[in-house]
């Protein structure tokens, strides 16, 4: 009897070990290789699967190399801002395959396919698993799914209705006026002054948000925005470190948690509105392409906006191209996605446009300006697109 029990337990343990081994091998090798084969059969090119890390090291090294020096003003910004994606598209085409660890990722740089993905309403496209540190940054619309997203979206959209935006105009005007007053104090009557317009616009945006959402000024809400900026920097540094095989900086992670706790308490009654995340899980057909379950789809909209196939001289700053409206500005009327598209299009786009128009009009009424000789052209992907070394300009009173 004892021998029978012992043999049964041994057999059960052996089966359990075999099951674990099979699951492990399936997850780290068979499933990724099978998915790669299915995509290759459709003519999709790209990098081959590598155990555990995939292309993560290459992604990190490309980003570090690209951010190590500035570029000339007439240089393309895409290779600096999203260097790995740019390289993949150059080497493998507008639909290419790379690997985010064990997860296959399709890079899609095609206007029609992008529109099909963004307008999908059947639930096939959801958010991928994210690093816990990044989750701290995105607790709003960009991270929610299902009924929770629907309810939050409805609430947020109602906050940006036309009548409510009109009611915000006095707050916008007050923020712009305060910025002009601050600048006038810096400039002598017949002189000039150099300032970093990037940080100035951060202050302006913060002031507008504080007045419209919190009923206060930037100075009263300043701590909130400083915490958000610190939160983003810490999370990005930790994610790059962990993905790059560097040991986690536990002091930094604890600092991030403390910052987050403070920020959550301050914002307890004011959930933040965040931008759409362009990475999605999918199990569906997009055009003629069949995407297996578990494949991540990356839509680098910046690359579309700088693609010579869609735009005349895309690197040239030329607002006149929009004289006849957005639909006629490019060679393909669906090649412009400044705020995303479809169900997850940014609900705050009209808010942003109104703020930008009022700010620019107010500045032009009071100042002339030119780029400072000290400016170093270094656009950088830091959650949003930012000038890595600031954007100094020289302003003069009109």
Integer distance in angstroms from the first to the last C-alpha of the chain?
Answer: 100
Residue whose pair of structure tokens reads 């995509």 in the numeric block: 39
Residue 266, pLDDT above cutoff 60: no
Q: In the chain, at which residue ranges do the beta strands (DSSP E only) sit?
A: 45-46, 95-100, 103-108, 192-196, 279-286, 289-298, 367-371, 379-382, 384-387, 392-397
Confidence band for 4, pLDDT divided at 50, 70 and 90: low
Residue whose pair of structure tokens reads 């081959």 in the numeric block: 48
Of 90-104, 148-162, 366-380, the one with minimum mean pLDDT is 148-162
Burial 7-29 (b: 16+ CB within 10 A, else e): eeeeeeeeeeeeeeeeeeeeeee
Could you give the CA distance from residue 374 to residue 395 in angstroms, rounded to a whole number?
Answer: 14
Contacts by residues 237-244 (CB-CB < 8 Å, ≥ 24 positions apart) = 238/133, 239/131, 239/133, 239/134, 240/60, 240/63, 242/131, 242/133, 243/53, 243/56, 243/59, 243/60, 244/56, 244/57, 244/60
How confident is the model at residue 6, as a pLDDT?
65
Question: What distance lies between CA 160 and its chain's CA centroid?
Answer: 21
Query: Going by CATH, does the domain composed of 146-276+346-398 fall within 1.10.630.10?
Result: yes
Confidence band for 52, pLDDT divided at 50, 70 and 90: confident
Task: Give span(s): CATH 1.10.630.10, the chain.
Answer: 146-276+346-398
Tell me the mean pLDDT in the region 294-319: 84
Tell me the mean pLDDT in the region 275-282: 38
Could you give the CA distance from residue 125 to residue 114 in angstroms, rounded to a whole number?
Answer: 13
Confidence band for 93, pLDDT divided at 50, 70 and 90: very high
Tell me the whole-structure pTM to 2 decimals: 0.77
Residue 226, pLDDT above cutoff 90: no
Residue 378, pLDDT above cutoff 90: yes
Which of residues 315 and 230 earns the better pLDDT score? 315
How confident is the model at residue 185, as a pLDDT?
92
Closest to 348 in 3D by CA, of 158, 197, 199, 115? 158
For the chain, give the longest Cα–Cα distance: 103
Q: Which tens digits make up the pLDDT trace of 167-178?
A: 889 999 999 999
How confident is the model at residue 71, as a pLDDT?
93
Closest to 344 in 3D by CA, of 274, 272, 276? 276
Mean of the per-residue pLDDT values of the chain: 79
Q: In 148-230, at which residue ranges do the beta strands (DSSP E only) sit?
A: 192-196
Q: Which tens digits make up the pLDDT trace of 328-338?
A: 888 887 788 88
As a whole-number percent, the residues of the chain with pLDDT over 70 amount to 74
Could you give the CA distance from residue 131 to residue 123 in angstroms, rounded to a whole number?
Answer: 23
How confident is the model at residue 75, as a pLDDT?
75
CB neighbours of residue 97 within 10 Å? 22
175-189, 233-247, 332-346 — which one is most confidently predicted on average? 175-189
Q: Which tens digits make up the pLDDT trace of 97-120?
A: 999 888 898 999 888 888 888 887
- β-bridge pairing 103-108 and 192-196: unpaired
How confident is the model at residue 130, as a pLDDT?
58
CB neighbours of residue 347 within 10 Å? 19
Of 28-32, 59-63, 262-266, the one with minimum mean pLDDT is 262-266
CB neighbours of residue 33 within 10 Å? 12
Which of residues 261 and 149 earns the better pLDDT score? 149
């Amino acid at each position: 009897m004892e021998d029978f029990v012992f043999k049964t337990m041994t057999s059960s343990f052996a089966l359990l070990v075999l099951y674990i081994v099979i699951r492990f091998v399936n997850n780290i090798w068979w499933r990724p290789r099978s998915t790669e084969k299915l995509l290759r059969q459709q003519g999709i090119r790209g990098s081959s699967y590598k155990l555990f890390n995939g292309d993560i090291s290459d992604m990190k090294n490309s980003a570090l190399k690209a951010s190590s020096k500035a570029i000339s003003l007439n240089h393309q910004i895409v290779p600096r801002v999203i260097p790995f994606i740019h390289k993949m598209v150059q080497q493998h085409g507008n639909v290419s395959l790379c690997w985010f660890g064990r997860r296959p990722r399709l890079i899609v740089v095609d206007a029609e396919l992008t529109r099909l993905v963004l307008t999908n309403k059947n639930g096939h496209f959801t958010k991928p698993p994210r690093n816990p540190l990044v989750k701290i940054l995105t607790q709003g619309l960009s991270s929610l799914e299902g009924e929770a997203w629907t309810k939050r979206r409805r609430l947020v959209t109602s906050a940006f209705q036309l009548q409510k935006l009109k009611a915000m105009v006095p707050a916008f005007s007050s923020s712009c006026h305060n910025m002009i007053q601050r600048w006038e104090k810096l400039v002598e009557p017949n002189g000039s002054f150099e300032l970093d317009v990037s940080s100035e616009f951060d202050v302006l945006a913060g002031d507008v948000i504080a007045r419209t959402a919190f009923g206060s000024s930037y100075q009263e809400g300043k701590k909130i925005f400083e915490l958000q900026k610190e939160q983003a920097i810490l999370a990005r540094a930790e994610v790059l470190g962990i993905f790059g095989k560097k040991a986690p900086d536990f002091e930094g992670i604890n600092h991030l948690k403390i910052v987050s706790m403070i920020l959550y308490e301050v914002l307890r009654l004011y959930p933040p509105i965040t931008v759409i995340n362009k990475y999605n899980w999918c199990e569906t057909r997009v055009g003629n392409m069949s995407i297996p379950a578990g494949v991540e789809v990356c839509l680098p909209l910046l690359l579309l906006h700088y693609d010579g196939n869609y735009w005349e001289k895309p690197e040239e700053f030329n607002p006149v191209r929009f004289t006849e409206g957005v639909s006629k500005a490019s060679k393909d009327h669906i090649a412009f996605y400044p705020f995303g598209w479809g169900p997850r299009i940014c609900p705050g786009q009209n808010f942003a446009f109104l703020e930008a128009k009022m700010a620019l009009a107010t500045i032009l009424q009071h100042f002339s300006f030119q780029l400072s000789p000290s400016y170093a052209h270094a656009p950088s992907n830091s959650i949003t697109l930012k000038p890595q070394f600031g954007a100094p300009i020289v302003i003069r009173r009109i």
